[in-house]
């Protein structure tokens, strides 16, 4: 992926260097796969714009979720990101969130059927 492309800037009205800034989750409806927009900023004027997207990659309990598993976990099991209660979202040297500042919370972790992808996940046990 080219992180510093020359793009046409809508603010400068010319081709300028654009620097990659962040990935922003796209809104999704239940059942659709999750994607993120790649956000770039014009090096000349600072105007930001999305350019391209990619599948959203997430991990839960140390395992990477496939696109379908992520959609299933969010839609069926109520998987949501939440600020880490142990470090209060700071993520500094926190073993609870591995330094991210955010943890996954599920409405239910019980498998919803024999082929449920959640059956393979074992949430960490609090000591």
Distance CA 115, CA 87 (A): 35
Lowest-pLDDT range, 9-13, 36-40, 56-60, 82-86?
Answer: 56-60
The domain limits of the chain are: 6-55, 58-120
What is the pLDDT confidence band of residue 127, given thresholds at 50, 70 and 90? very low
The b-or-e profile of 101-114 (16+ CB within 10 A means b, else e) is bebbebeebeeeee
pLDDT tens per residue across span 101-115: 888 787 877 778 877
Strand partners, 64: 59
Average pLDDT value for residue range 36-54: 87
CA atoms within 13 A on the CB side of 52: 14
Distance CA 56, CA 54 (A): 6
CB 70 within 8 A of CB 34: yes
Strand partners, 36: 25, 54
């Amino acid at each position: 992926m080219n992180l510093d492309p020359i793009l046409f800037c809508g603010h400068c009205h010319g081709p300028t260097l654009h620097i990659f800034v962040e990935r922003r989750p796209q809104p999704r409806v239940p059942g659709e796969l999750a994607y993120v927009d790649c956000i770039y900023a014009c090096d000349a004027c600072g105007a930001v714009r999305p350019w391209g997207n990619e599948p959203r990659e997430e991990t839960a309990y140390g395992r990477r979720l496939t696109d379908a598993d992520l959609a299933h976990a969010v839609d069926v099991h109520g998987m949501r990101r939440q600020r880490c209660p142990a470090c209060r979202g700071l993520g500094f040297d926190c073993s609870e969130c591995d330094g991210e500042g955010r943890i996954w919370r599920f409405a239910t972790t019980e498998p919803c059927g024999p082929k449920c992808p959640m059956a393979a996940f074992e949430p960490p046990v609090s000591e």
